[in-house]
Amino acid sequence: MSKRDLMDEAAIAANFERLTQHSPMSSSHRPSYTKSLYEAIARDVCLDTHAHLPYLKEVAKGNVLEIGVHCGISTTALLAGVEENGGHVWSIDVHPACRYTHYGHPQWTFYCTWAGEVPQPGLPLDVLFIDGDHSYAAVLNDLQFWGPQVKAGGLILCHDADSASFPGVRTAIEDFCVWHNKPHDLHRGSNGLEVIYW
Ligand SMILES: C[S@@+](CC[C@H](N)C(=O)[O-])C[C@H]1O[C@@H](n2cnc3c(N)ncnc32)[C@H](O)[C@@H]1O
């Protein structure tokens, strides 16, 4: 493991500890744990996905695939959603420490790997949430690889679709939607969440 990986792992652990200071993590899932964690993060307006957390929770049902866990903010909203609505979340991240964000949750499967190297999650997907590598090529690759696995009427959600720091995200979404002729709209705030109606 490189020094960079170790630093990232420490940052993920520190973030997670901050988020869970009122709800200590256990090695197995506790009833209502995700709900109280979701309520705690939804109050934290500094999180870069803050504006989108209620929507993520609302639409998460059935087979949900998440690319990019980091310290588990979006994962918490998606899991709170499937706890209420039914379903399962499959999450992908290259950092091994991400597995501890919701370790033991019965409705969660974590794959420590690159986005294109995943064993089969539950297919077809109802919801695909993309928040991994923010380069044009990587976002387009995630969209092209996983988008066609979403069932008709499902949703593809891309975070950072309205961020000057990641112009490639927006361009990749626009190219993908033109090629596949799919309607989409932008939820503003918190760097933007693009919703593609598949
Ligand atoms: C912006 S963070 C995700 C934030 C997370 N969605 C949240 O709300 O807390 C991006 C994450 O994507 C992961 N990542 C980047 N490129 C990836 C790839 N090609 N495959 C899997 N994970 C990747 C990084 O390790 C990082 O943890």
Domains of the chain: 3-197 (3.40.50.150)
> What pLDDT shows up at residue 32?
65
Distance CA 91, CA 60 (A): 13
Ligand 1 within 6 A of CB of 68: yes
Q: Ligand 1, residues 18, 133, 140: which to mutate, most atoms within 8 A of Cβ?
A: 133
Question: 147: phi > 0 → left, psi -120 to 50 → alpha, else beta; which?
Answer: alpha
Q: Report the separation in Å between the CA atom of 71 and the middle of ligand 1, taken as the mean of its atom positions.
A: 9
Ligand 1 within 6 A of CB of 131: yes
Q: Report the separation in Å between the CA atom of 93 and the middle of ligand 1, taken as the mean of its atom positions.
A: 6
> Is 189 in contact with 175 (CB distance < 8 Å)?
no
> What pLDDT shows up at residue 3?
53
Ligand 1 within 6 A of CB of 16: no
CA-based nearest residue to 89, from 116, 59, 114:
59
> What pLDDT shows up at residue 22?
43
- Atom nearest to 115 CA in ligand 1: 20
Q: Report the separation in Å between the CA atom of 85 and the middle of ligand 1, taken as the mean of its atom positions.
A: 25
Give residue-wise pLDDT tens across range 145-185. Answer: 999 999 999 999 999 999 999 999 999 999 999 999 999 99
> What pLDDT shows up at residue 114?
87
CA-based nearest residue to 100, from 112, 115, 89, 85:
112
Ranges of the chain whose pLDDT falls below 50: 1, 22-27
> What pLDDT shows up at residue 196?
98
Q: At what angle do helices 167-180 and 136-146 cross, to 10 degrees?
A: 30
> What pLDDT shows up at residue 81?
97
Give the predicted TM-score (pTM) of the model.
Answer: 0.90
